Amino acid sequence: MSSASNQKHTAILDAAYELFGSGGFYETKMSEVAEQAGIAKGTVYLYFKSKEDLFMAVTRRDCEGFLLQLQERLKASDTLASKLSIIAKHHLNYYYERKRHTKLFFRAPNNNPELVAYMTQFMEQYMQDVVKVLLEGGASEPELMAQSYIGMLDRLKMDILFDPSFTEEDAYKRADFAAGLFIRGAMIT
Amino acid sequence: MSSASNQKHTAILDAAYELFGSGGFYETKMSEVAEQAGIAKGTVYLYFKSKEDLFMAVTRRDCEGFLLQLQERLKASDTLASKLSIIAKHHLNYYYERKRHTKLFFRAPNNNPELVAYMTQFMEQYMQDVVKVLLEGGASEPELMAQSYIGMLDRLKMDILFDPSFTEEDAYKRADFAAGLFIRGAMIT
Amino acid sequence: MSSASNQKHTAILDAAYELFGSGGFYETKMSEVAEQAGIAKGTVYLYFKSKEDLFMAVTRRDCEGFLLQLQERLKASDTLASKLSIIAKHHLNYYYERKRHTKLFFRAPNNNPELVAYMTQFMEQYMQDVVKVLLEGGASEPELMAQSYIGMLDRLKMDILFDPSFTEEDAYKRADFAAGLFIRGAMIT
Amino acid sequence: MSSASNQKHTAILDAAYELFGSGGFYETKMSEVAEQAGIAKGTVYLYFKSKEDLFMAVTRRDCEGFLLQLQERLKASDTLASKLSIIAKHHLNYYYERKRHTKLFFRAPNNNPELVAYMTQFMEQYMQDVVKVLLEGGASEPELMAQSYIGMLDRLKMDILFDPSFTEEDAYKRADFAAGLFIRGAMIT
DNA sequence: AATGAATGAGTTTTCATTCAT
DNA sequence: CATGAATGAAAACTCATTCAT
């Protein structure tokens, strides 16, 4: 049971990730999710109690993966510079891999307090992970620093999402640029 | 026509800005916009051909105001550092003033190519304005620099939007922090 | 407006009366009501906010007619006996005229407190009308008397509803029987 | 089979009686019946072929009990007056005991010919039982008499069902009132 | 006999948009 | 230009019933 059950649970999440990600929350129909998952409409409701609930689950799985992977990768390095580089690469690489599922980030169900709360908490967690790195480097105002760094990365990811010709290579270059800029500043005048 | 017509046009835009901004695109009904504007439902369609069209117009007006105001403010200063400071202050102040209308930025109609195109072009224009400032300072890779700066600011704005106790004062402090970080870097290690 | 509006309002009530009455609440679809009324589905909702609301309105109109007509008819008579006869004839005649719409009484939406409240109040009003008549005749325990009389009539109506060969003539005979029985008793042993 | 099977059969009927009675046919879910009966959903269908079938069975069991008990009680008395009293007490007491399960009588599945047929037959049987008593007293028009008496009782039961403060004592008083009224009439004017 | 996961038909309601006045 | 009554497409969700185990 638990295995079969899990299989279907996962199939639904995968289908929903695909459709929410490429089409957006409002544009995706539950019947499409069911079809994509290869099951009946009613079955989706055996695993998720509503469309919003399903969206939350998709988001949660994705965000948790993001944080887990980040922590995993950070372990592998030691210097501050390399850690900042890893953060940047992870951030950009993450979006690079999700080029085709951008709607997940931009087109969430509106006015869902639970989702807002989760995203807030996710952002906080992400920021704290960066803060920890910065503190080892003795940064002052580490929270603003962390926010700024994440912000830089977040904007740099945009081209990835919108420019189809963007390569993974390009993503890594951008990551290094961001790390450098953050550490040394623009060094102008 | 022109004056009375313009008055109504503006009233609709104001109403739509208010409602889209505080409730989101999908949650706002055309009938509510009409009511808020003090006119009949059908009349809205004399000025805007669809709900999406209206949203576009609201967005466009807001973004144009953003860019115009920025250019205006930049004229008043001369050094690179002060210009960067002005950009940051303008960015954060802009969102500070729109605390109550955040949905405009997060809850747009999905899958509207025209809107995506416009936002892309707006971002490009904003970036070019920053690029121009950076070029005067002799920056290399000015586009990436500009994106990064804008990204920093964009993330720092988040607290403004989510933290109700944020003051205008706080916004300005953040702006200076951002400008400083951008110019000198984190200066760690 | 008011006239046209009223026309449509009435058309919907008539259609709903017909369909709820012959098919029952749960079996009647709003789309059928609209079709029968010769309008579009959405239009029904301009006049009644929900299916239950519509059912309430149909019921209310019918019950009010019942009470008004009764009071009208009672005015035309003076002796107690004739008044009791009128009540009986009115009761049975009322159901005779609604032979084809019995579901209205048996198949209401379940668990609708508003409807239950209204029916309770209607029954109370009906009973009070009968009580008033009985009091003029100096009856003791007039409420129980009234309830009993109404009960007799209500049961006698059953054949009307279920026996298709029942004639209006038969209904009047039954009415006289009931009045006689009520006044003089079964007179057995 | 017989014992275990019967046990389950009975458990389902009990559960269904409870739920249909307190919630109504349409509001009760087969899954709830199964849960209340302590078995699996599919098992219900081994004993009853459909929800309507189950409702029929619940109704049938209840009505049969009603008639059996009535006949039992009638045996214990001999005079006409005492028999009429017993009928009244039985009728009112029956509903008194079912105060919490009134939906069974008011909220049946619509448009089920089998159920309508059964209820008709039940009413006929009940009436015939009363007719038999009346005939012994030499009544004329015994069927109309019987219907009327049952009708009186049926209406008097209403307060029992709706007035929570009603006591068993009150029920018996009402029974005597009804018997008296039926035999002697209202004795007014 | 018993289970409970899976099915999918079926209906209310909303709301952007139209168009006769 | 302005109105607002009328339209009807569109989708989430429920739940009786089935059937493989």
Beta carbons within 8 Å of B162's beta carbon, 6+ residues apart: A120
Nearest nucleic acid nucleotide to A30, CA to C1' distance: F12
C-alpha torsion angle, residues D101, D116, C89, D160 (rounded to 10) = -10
A45: nearest nucleotide, CA–C1' criterion? F13
Torsion angle in degrees (nearest 10) through CA of C39, C42, C46, C47: 50
Helices and strands (DSSP H and E) totals, chain D: 9, 0
Q: Do chains D and A touch (3 or more CB pairs under 8 A)?
A: no
Residue C104, pLDDT score: 72
Listed in sequence order, the residues at least 6 apart from A138 whose beta carbon sits closer than 8 Å to its beta carbon are: B188, B189
CA distance C113 to chain D (A): 13
With beta carbons less than 8 A apart as the criterion, state whether D58 and D13 touch: yes
Domain locations in chain B as residue ranges: 2-184
Reported as a single tens digit per residue, the pLDDT across D144-161 is 999 999 999 999 988 888
| Residue of D36, D32, D101, D33 lying closest to D66 (CA atoms) | D101
The tens digit of pLDDT for each residue in A130-144 reads 999 999 888 889 999
CA closest to A178 among chain B residues: B148
Mean pLDDT of B9-29: 92
Using the structure block, give the residue that is written with the tokens 């009224």: D181
pLDDT tens digits, B137-172? 888 899 999 999 999 998 998 888 778 888 989 999
Decide: D and B in contact? Rule: 3+ Cβ pairs under 8 Å: no
C-alpha to C-alpha distance for B172 and D119, rounded to whole angstroms: 80
| Best-predicted range by mean pLDDT (A108-112, D103-107, D112-116, D154-158) | D154-158
Q: Do B80 and A189 touch (CB under 8 A)?
A: yes
Pick the more confident residue, A2 or D158.
Answer: D158
Confidence of residue B1 (pLDDT cuts 50, 70, 90): very low
| Surface of B (146-175) touching A: CB under 8 A | 147-156, 158-159, 162, 174
State the DSSP code for D120: H
Q: pLDDT tens digits for B43-76?
A: 999 999 999 999 999 999 999 999 999 999 999 9
The residue length of chain A stands at 189
For residue C6, with 0-12 CB atoms within 10 Å meaning exposed, 13-18 middle and 19 or more buried, which class applies?
A: exposed
C&D contacts, CB < 8 Å: 136
Q: Do D147 and C156 make contact, defined as CB atoms within 8 angstroms?
A: yes
Rounded CA separation C134/C148 (Å):
12
- A to B CB pairs, distance under 8 Å: 137
More confident residue, D81 or B1: D81
Question: pLDDT value at position A98?
Answer: 87
What's the angle, vertex CA A55, arms to CA B31 and CA A167, rounded to 5? 105
Q: Are D174 and C144 a contacting pair at CB < 8 A?
A: yes
Q: Is the CB of A1 under 7 A from strand E?
A: yes
Element (H, E) at D137: none
The closest alpha carbon to D152, from D186, D110, D116, belongs to D186
Measured between beta carbons, the chain D residues lying within 8 angstroms of C156 are 144, 147-148, 151
Confidence of residue D106 (pLDDT cuts 50, 70, 90): low
State both tokens at B132.
């121009």
Residue A148 token pair: 């700024």
Segment holding D28, helix H or strand E: none
Dihedral sign from CA coordinates of A43, A49, A52, A54: negative
Chain C residues 33-72 within an 8 A CB cutoff of chain D: none
Per-chain mean pLDDT for chain A = 89
Question: Which burial class, exposed, middle or buried, applies to D43 when counting CB atoms under 10 A from its CB (0-12, 13-18, 19+)?
Answer: middle
Q: What pLDDT was estimated at residue B152? A: 94
Residues of chain C with Cβ-Cβ distance to D153 below 8 Å are: 151
Per-residue model confidence (pLDDT) at position B6: 85
Paired tokens of B81: 């550092």
Q: How many CB atoms lie within 10 A of CB A92?
A: 25
pLDDT digits (tens, 9 = 90+) for C126-179: 999 999 999 988 888 999 999 999 999 999 988 888 788 989 999 999 999 999
Q: Left, alpha or beta for B79 (phi > 0: left; psi -120 to 50: alpha)?
A: beta
pLDDT, tens digit (0-9, with 9 covering 90-100), for C148-158: 999 999 999 88
Q: How confident is the model at residue D180 (pLDDT cuts 50, 70, 90)?
A: very high
- Please check whether residue C70 is in contact with residue C90, taking contact to mean a CB–CB distance below 8 angstroms: yes
Q: Do D186 and C107 touch (CB under 8 A)?
A: no
**B148, B150, B177: which to substitute to probe chain A, counting the most A Cβ within 10 Å?**
B148
The answer to whether the CB atoms of D148 and C152 lie below 8 A apart is yes
B-contacting residues of A 101-140, CB under 8 Å?
103, 106-108, 110-111, 120, 123, 134, 137-139
Query: What is the pLDDT confidence band of residue D164, given thresholds at 50, 70 and 90?
Result: confident
Contact B137/A189, CB-based, under 8 Å? yes
Tell me the nt nearest to A26, Cα to C1': F11
- Report the pLDDT value the prediction gives residue C15, as an integer from 0 to 100: 95
CATH code of domain A2-184: 1.10.357.10
**CA D151 from chain center: how many Å?**
13
Q: Which two tokens stand for residue C179?
A: 């009045």
Number of other CB atoms surrounding residue D144 within 10 Å: 22
Residue D74 contacts residue D129 (beta carbons within 8 Å): yes
Task: Give pLDDT tens digits for A32-86.
Answer: 999 999 999 999 999 999 999 999 999 999 999 999 999 999 999 889 999 999 9
- The Cα C63–Cα C67 span in angstroms is 6
Which chains would you list as touching C if contact means 3+ CB atom pairs under 8 Å?
A: D
Asked if C89 and C172 count as a contact pair (C-beta separation under 8 A), the reply is yes
Amino acid in position B183: I
Q: What is the rounded CA–CA span in Å between residue D188 and residue D123? A: 31
- Among candidate residues D124, D133, D50, D43, the one with its CA nearest the CA of residue D87: D133
- Which of A141, A174, A183 lies at the smallest CB-CB distance from B144? A174
What is the Cα–Cα distance from B138 to B141, expressed in whole angstroms?
10
Q: Which residues does chain C have within 8 Å of residue D137's beta carbon, measured at their own beta carbons?
A: 186, 188-189
Distance B188 CA to F10 C1' (A): 57
User: Does the beta-carbon distance from C189 to D145 stay under 8 Å?
Assistant: no
pLDDT one-digit tens code per residue, D12-71: 999 999 999 988 888 899 999 999 999 999 999 999 999 999 999 999 999 999 999 999
Token pair recorded at residue C187: 């007179």
| Position B4 confidence tier, pLDDT thresholds 50, 70, 90 | low
Q: Between D181 and B140, name the one with better pLDDT.
A: D181
- In angstroms, the CA D99 to CA C34 distance is 39
Query: In this structure, what are the phi and psi dihedrals at residue D6, rounded to the nearest 5 degrees?
Result: -65, -40
Neighbouring chains of D at 3+ CB pairs within 8 Å? C
Mean pLDDT confidence for C20-30: 87
Q: Which amino acid is at C128?
A: Q
- Mutation target to probe the B interface, by most B beta carbons within 10 A, among A25, A27, A110 is A110
Option in B27, B147, B156 nearest A148 (CB): B156
